[in-house]
Amino acid sequence: MNNKSPFEDAPVIFSYTRAQAIEDGVLVDLSAWAKETGFKFPVACTSSVWHGYIVPPQGTESLGQSERGRAHDLLWMVRRFTA
């Protein structure tokens, strides 16, 4: 049995790292907040998730909505349903 990957000797055509995606704004790093929620690995979300679900709708800040709070809620639910 040959355990060699068929891509082992293939040239890399394109590489885009997590760090580059965070720097470019494609991903938003949630690792520090995720660690507080019990995650043991780096966590990021797409900018679409960030702007669509975590950034509070305009005018809701006075109702107690914040990026930190909404991110915590999202991370808490993900952690509970994946643990």
17 close to 29: Cβ distance less than 8 angstroms: no
Helical spans, DSSP H, in 1-83: 18-24, 31-36, 47-49, 67-82
Q: What is the mean pLDDT of residues 52-68?
A: 94
Per the prediction, the chain carries an average pLDDT of 93
Place of tokens 């704004």: 25
Question: What pTM does this model have?
Answer: 0.79
pLDDT at 70 over 80: yes
Q: Quick one: average pLDDT of 17-27? A: 98
Mean pLDDT, to the nearest integer, of 12-39?
96
pLDDT at 4: 84
- Write down the pLDDT at residue 7: 85
Instruction: Taking residues 29-43, report their average pLDDT.
Output: 95
Between β-strands 44-46 and 27-29, what pairing exists: parallel, antiparallel or unpaired? antiparallel
